A and B are shown apart, each in its own frame.
Chain A
Amino acid sequence: MSKERDILKSLLLKEELELLDNLKQKVLSESQFTQEVSQVLTAAIKRAEKQDKNFERSLKGPIQRGVVKTFADNKQSIIDSIMPIMGQLIRKTVSNSIKQFVADINRTLELGFSAKALKWRWQAFKSGEKFADIVFQKTIHYQITEMFVISHENGLLIQHAGTDAEEVLKDKDALSAMLTGLQDFIGDSLQSSNSGLLSIEISDKEFLISTGPHAYLATVVKGSPTERLKNKLQQLIENIHSDYSDLIADQDQYQNDLEFSGYLQKHLITKSISDEKKSLNWKPWVFIILLVIIGLSYWAYQRNKEFKRVNQLTHSIPGLYVQDLKRDNGGYVVSGLMDPMADTSQLQTNNIELIVKPYVSLDQEIIQKRVDKAVDDYKAITATLKGNVVTLSGQANENDSLTLTNKLYTLSGVDKVINQLIMDKTEEINTNEDNNLIKKKELTESINAMKKSIHDSSINLTKYQANNVDEKQKLNEIIENIQFILKNKNQTQISIIGESDCYGKKSDAYSHQRALFIKDIFVKNNINEKSIVIKIKPCVILTSKENLDNKNVKFRLQ
């Protein structure tokens, strides 16, 4: 029965059985099966990739393991395979780094001893930073082309500043929202409210994000921003929060505040693109230069004014003929000719040195002084000068009248003497009439002798102050004589004349002090102060050597 059934099966299903047998052989034979699969493998992978979403994921594991194992087993062959690519990459990276390094060295060398470099070296010295760091900061260039102040709350643009030519995107509202969305996404992904974008690079531009509590600042920077710039931008958003808090809180004011727009605009850097150029403010320099010019002009004006004043002063002194006037060591030097009678005390108080040769002046004032000096010894005679004519008036004996007239004729500048003196003969009459008068004459002679003695004497102050016995004795004799004369002729006037060695500009002042010193001694010795006149013998020419013998005091009685 079973046999019959098999025969029937073979008759009915012969072809199908042969096909099944054939298939069985293919599946069971590995080489045949591989042959069959290889023919459809590519198409099968493509179809699976399209239709099965998990296809790639399912391949990931075996492929990764396969790659790892391949690397482990065939290191050398892998290295050989990727060497051409890696070699090129490494060479390019190293080459770029060396180029940059060489450029940096060149830049530093170029700057080596320039004014700018010296300034930066000084800055580095002061701040303690490395010079290389300063050079790097100062020479890195960048531009700030756009600024966006964006609300954290809703991503709306609060204010934008930028130049149309440099704007990255025309739709600033969309960009602001997208940046906020990205910030939120990153913050959410990192599970931290503080995390967010710090920067985004787009070709040669970079968005720097500086965050504040309610708004953030997105700055578009072209070039290479420095750490310093980033700090500045952070400071800027903090300032915006403090200065424009009302604006940030009021959505209706967004993009409508011109003042805030201007404020942001000021922070753009479109031309001067380095820190150095940005910080170069020329206004203070102009101010300083102007100040210096004004100062110099004022100084020159004052100097010129002072020179004119001194020039006028020197030319106004009678008996001084100025040939040249020069500035010297803060003072002035006058060279020229000078009459011994000229009064130069004013020049010494004005720090003016004289280098002069003596000459005889015909100035009216000088002639007057000569006449006064000649008449000085004759108390009862008055001389009046008019032009070059001297008129004598008063009372004198014949001898004095003749002597004085002759003396006046010898003076330079005096051409004629008109003698209108009244002859005094009283002395002679009295001599003849009364013997008592003889005594009077003797007294007068005695007084005259004393006067002469006093006139011939001089006290050397250096010796006196050194307690020289002779000098002390001499002064005591003079005082005694003067006391005697005053007792008999109380109208007598005593001139104390201080002298000096003319060594140094203060010589005349010292002469005056010497005379005063002696005056004090006179007053202490009961000589009436009203009878005393202080005079000095002025220095006409200053000497270059000190002479103690000339530091004297002399006396004249009239």
Chain B
Amino acid sequence: MKIAKKICLIGRFAVGKTSLVKQFVDNQFSEKYKTTVGVSISTKKLKIDDIDLSLVIWDIAGFERDSHYKHYLRGVNGIIWVLDGTEPESFEILEIIEKSLPEIKQIPAICFVNKYDLVKKWKIGENEMQQLHKSFSHILKTSAKTGENVETGFKQLAEMLIKK
């Protein structure tokens, strides 16, 4: 059986969304679309429990600027929230988007706290992590640079989508 799922990456500018996608995907459209159209599409094929799963990953830009991202989030099956461990301000995106789109809480989601390779420069403490645990069942400390936990995170979300 073949199934396709739409996944969106949400995160502030420069948290490492595009780099995370690059670590994981098979095919990717040119990055220039992200700056022109506001979205870059990538795909990843996985096989889970005899199911040929095709993850269609929407790397969306411009969450800070305007609300055009709402079009791109339409019909999404799963969300990867990307936060930057070195920038606690990047955590504010959670509140902003959830306020703008309350229904987004119902979508299966996973949280990447990125830039784990710079863990020494992280400015978040146990408090912030505990707050995150209230919102997410799956939180991974990832590094787009080393690839740490990137594939694991995507696969965890994929399994969540299949089992849903």
A interface list, Cβ under 8 A from B? 151, 153-157, 171, 173-174, 176-178, 181-182, 184-185, 187-188, 251-252, 254-256
Contacts and interface: CB of A to CB of B under 8 A. Distances in A.
A154 B77 contact: yes
B74 A154 contact: yes
A156 B41 CA distance: 12
Contacts of A255: 2, 4
Nearest to B5: A156
B143 interface: no
B60 to A, nearest CB: 9
Contacts of A174: 27-29, 41-43, 56
A156 B6 contact: yes
Interface of B: 1-6, 26-29, 33, 37-39, 41-43, 54, 56, 58, 68, 71-72, 74-77
6 contacts: A154-B76, A155-B58, A177-B41, A178-B29, A184-B72, A185-B39
Q: Which residue, of A185, A252, A256, has the highest number of chain B Cβ atoms within 10 A?
A: A185
B11 to A, nearest CB: 18
Contacts of B2: 254-256
Contacts of A156: 4-6, 56, 75
Given A177-B56, A182-B37, A185-B68, 20 more contacts: A153-B75, A154-B6, A154-B76, A154-B77, A155-B58, A173-B4, A174-B28, A174-B43, A174-B56, A177-B43, A181-B33, A181-B72, A184-B71, A185-B37, A185-B39, A185-B71, A188-B68, A251-B77, A254-B4, A256-B1
A9 to B, nearest CB: 55
Contact of B4 (A157, A178, A187): A157
Contacts of B29: 174, 178
B79 to A, nearest CB: 13
Given A154-B6, A154-B74, A177 B58 contact: yes
Nearest to B68: A188
A327 B1 CA distance: 75
B103 to A, nearest CB: 14
B27 A171 contact: yes
Q: Which residue, of B2, B26, B77, has the highest number of chain A Cβ atoms within 10 A?
A: B2
Contacts of B43: 171, 173-174, 177
Given A154-B76, A156-B56, A173-B43, A178 B3 contact: no
Contacts of A184: 71-72, 74
A254 B1 CA distance: 10
A251 B164 CA distance: 13
A167 to B, nearest CB: 14
Nearest to B3: A252
A153 B4 contact: no
Nearest to A193: B71
Contacts of B54: 173
Nearest to B74: A153
Contacts of B42: 174
A188 B6 contact: no
Contact of A181 (B3, B41, B75, B77): B41
Nearest to A155: B6
A176 B54 CA distance: 12
Contacts of A252: 3
A177 B3 CA distance: 15
B56 A181 contact: no
Contacts of A153: 74-75
A442 B22 CA distance: 147
Nearest to B58: A177
Given A156-B4, A181-B39, A181-B41, A173 B74 contact: no
A171 B27 CA distance: 8
Given A156-B4, A255-B2, A256-B2, A178 B74 contact: no
Nearest to A156: B4
Contacts of B77: 154, 251
